[in-house]
Structure 1
Amino acid sequence: MESEWLTLPDLVEVLDEPLGRVRRFLDEYQLVGSRREGALKVPALFVKDGELIPSLRGTVIVLHDAGFSDDEAIDWLLALEDSIGVAPIEALRAGRKSEVRRVAAALA
């Protein structure tokens, strides 16, 4: 799944939060980003209606516990997952947290 990516300044604007708070979101895994093209960026799908997706943090922690790096976690969240029929991030955005976490936990 292709995704628009947001830089930290973009996130400051979209979330209407100061840069320090946005960095804390990353430190606490409320967001997860990648430096694939230089600057640290976060998939725009990780934000919905100017808010963080609440279920993202726990899902990222489950993926880290399964041995995923940040980049691998992002790739998994954005890719079609056959067992749930959509990309995991789409399922999280639709409120299907339990289903996504069950699949993520099975990856360990």
Structure 2
Amino acid sequence: MDVVSLHAVAERLGYPLTRVHQLIRDGQLVAMRRERELVIPEAFLTRGAVVKGLPGTITLLRDNGYTEDEILEWLFTPDDTLPGTPIDALRGDRGREVKRRAQAMAL
């Protein structure tokens, strides 16, 4: 999975770095550590924006008890019924189906 530093995310979104940190704290983005640096999966971003539907999907999964690692795993695990991964479906404007699945995934 390709990742982007928080500084690069801020630059791409046209936000100050503090706003990117706030998006993570607010649960609109999920970050991970790579080599002691916080990074965001490249797939979470489109041109100048966060992928439509991603923040709501993250919230649904968190509400169902998913950890950040489990959220990342779920978003990037292939699902033959979509087809592809949930993040691919969100990027392809199939967010409604992804959200339905996230709501049904109560732990």
TM-score, normalization by structure 2? 0.90
- Alpha-carbon RMSD across the aligned residues, in angstroms, is 1.3
After TM superposition, which residue ranges in structure 1, 4 or more long, deviate above 6 angstroms?
Answer: none
SS of residue in 2 equivalent to 1:42:
strand
Displacement after TM superposition at 1:9 (Å): 1.2
Residue of structure 2 equivalent to 1:73: 71
Residue of structure 2 equivalent to 1:10: 8
CA contact (8 A) 2:28 2:59 kept: no
What is the total number of aligned residue pairs between the two structures? 106
TM-score, normalization by structure 1? 0.90
More strand by share: 2
Percent sequence identity is 38
Residue of structure 1 equivalent to 2:47: 49
1:93 aligned to 91, 94, 97, which one?
91
Cα distance in 2 between the residues matched to 1:20 and 1:104? 29
Runs of 5+ consecutive residues of structure 2 not aligned to the other structure: none
Cα distance in 2 between the residues matched to 1:26 and 1:54? 16
